[in-house]
Chains A and B, each alone.
Chain A
Amino acid sequence: MFSGCEKIVRGRIELEKTGFIRAAGFDKSEKNDDNVKLTFALKGKSSGGDAKQPASSGFSIITEEGKTLFDTNRKVRTFVSKNIFWGHLFFILIGEDAAKDDIVKYLDFVTRNQDIRLTSHVIIVKGTTAEDAINKIRTKDITITETLSSLVHNSGELSVASELELGDIIQMLDCEYACAYIPYIELNNKIKEEEEKEGKEVLEPSLLGYAIFKDEKLIGYINGGTARGANWVNNKGETGTTIVEDSKGKEICLEIISIKSKTTPEMKDDKINIKIEINMTSDIVEYEGREDIFKEKILKDIEKQQAEIIKKEVQSAIKYAKENEVDFLGIGDAVYHKYPIEWEKKYKDKWPSMLKNVPISVDVKTKINRTHNITQPTAMKEGNKK
Chain B
Amino acid sequence: MFFDKKKEEKNESKEDDLKKEESKNLSTKISIERIKSKLGRSVDFACKKFNVNSNKDLPVSIIYINGLIDSLKTSEFILQPLAESETLKSAETPQEVIKLIEQGALYYSSQTKRDKEDDIIKDVIEGSVALIFEQESIAFTFDLKGFERRSIGEPSSENVKKGGKDSFVETLRVNTATIRRRIKTPDLIIEEKVVGRQSKTQLNIVYIDGITNMDIVNSVKKKIDEMDIDQVLSIGKLDEFINEKKYSVFPQVDYTERPDKFCSDIIEGRVGIIVDGLPMGVIVPTEFAKLLQAPEDYSEDSIIASLVRLLRYFLLISTILLPGFYIAVTTFHPEMIPSELAMSIAESKEGVPLPIFFEVILMLVAFEILVEAGLRMPKTISQAVSIVGALVVGDAAVTAKLISPGVVIVIAIAAIASYAVPNQDLSNAIRLWRFIFVILSSIIGLFGLMIGVILILFNLAKMETFGVAYLEPFVESETMQAGDSLIRLPIKFLKYRPNFLKTYNKKRIG
Contact = CB atoms under 8 A, between A and B. Distances in A.
Interface stretch (A65-73, A83-91, A345-353, A358-366): A83-91
B339 A4 contact: no
A44 B345 CA distance: 14
Contacts of A18: 334, 346
Interface residues of B, number: 25
A317 B445 CA distance: 51
Nearest to A117: B335
Interface residues of A, number: 23
Nearest to B338: A88
A370 interface: no
Nearest to B442: A12
Contacts of A87: 334-335
B331 interface: yes
User: Which applies to chain A's interface (DSSP): helix, strand, loop or mixed?
Assistant: loop
Given A1-B450, A8-B332, A87-B335, A15 B349 contact: yes
Contact of B446 (A1, A14, A43): A1
Given A7-B445, A8-B444, A14 B335 contact: no
Contacts of B336: 3-4
A90 B334 contact: no
Contact of B339 (A7, A13, A90): A90
A43 B349 CA distance: 14
B450 A12 contact: no
B342 interface: yes
Interface stretch (B71-79, B157-165, B350-358, B495-503): B350-358
Nearest to A44: B350
Nearest to A114: B335
Name which of A3, A5, A16, A88 has the most chain B CB atoms within 10 A of its CB.
A16
A115 B339 contact: no
A20 B356 CA distance: 18
B333 interface: yes
Interface in A131-147: none
Contacts of B345: 15
B334 A85 contact: yes
A296 B355 CA distance: 72
Given A4-B332, A8-B447, A115-B335, A14 B342 contact: no
A14 B446 CA distance: 16
Interface in B419-469: 442, 444-447, 450
Nearest to A17: B346
B447 A2 contact: yes
A15 B356 contact: yes
A4 B351 CA distance: 26
B446 A2 contact: yes
Contacts of B339: 20, 22, 88, 90
B307 interface: no
B343 interface: yes
Given A14-B356, A15-B356, A4 B335 contact: yes
B361 to A, nearest CB: 15
B352 A16 contact: yes
A4 B333 contact: yes
Contacts of A44: 350
Contacts of A16: 346-347, 349-352
Interface in A95-145: 115, 117
Interface in A11-62: 12-16, 18, 20, 22, 43-44
A10 B339 CA distance: 21
Contacts of B445: 4, 7-8, 12
B112 interface: no
A13 B442 CA distance: 11
A231 B342 CA distance: 35
Given A7-B332, A15-B334, A16-B349, 4 more contacts: A4-B332, A14-B356, A20-B334, A20-B346
30 contacts: A2-B447, A3-B335, A3-B336, A4-B333, A4-B335, A7-B332, A7-B333, A7-B445, A8-B332, A12-B445, A14-B331, A15-B330, A15-B334, A15-B346, A15-B349, A15-B356, A16-B346, A16-B349, A16-B351, A16-B352, A18-B334, A20-B339, A20-B343, A22-B339, A43-B343, A85-B334, A85-B335, A88-B342, A88-B343, A115-B335
Interface of A: 1-5, 7-8, 12-16, 18, 20, 22, 43-44, 85, 87-88, 90, 115, 117
Nearest 7 CB-CB pairings of A with B: A87-B335, A4-B333, A16-B349, A12-B331, A15-B346, A88-B339, A4-B332
